[in-house]
Amino acid sequence: MLDAGYAAPRIAHLLCGLPIEILGWLRSGRVMRRPTPLRVYDPKAGRPPKHGGEFVFGDPST
């Protein structure tokens, strides 16, 4: 069990695969990113995106 001061998503990522469950508080204004979209080669385009779309906890539309 983690308080809001700890990085619960990061700890959960590091400990994935272990038989444990993590419970943590997250700020309502926190923004997370979705997975990066598949890379499609386009010779006219610039650098591929580093992150996917935003997931905002306080915004029900995301």
Structure tokens given for 14: 């590091």
Residue-level pLDDT at 41: 72
More confident residue, 31 or 5: 31
Instruction: Of 46, 6, 55, give the one whose Cα is nearest residue 28.
Output: 55
Q: What is the pLDDT of residues 9-55, one digit of tens each?
A: 788 888 888 998 888 877 777 778 888 877 777 777 777 777 788 88
Report pTM.
0.44
DSSP H helical ranges for 1-62? 8-14
Six-digit token pair at 17? 């695969």
**The residue type at 7:** A
What is the pLDDT at residue 5? Answer: 66
pLDDT of residue 19: 93
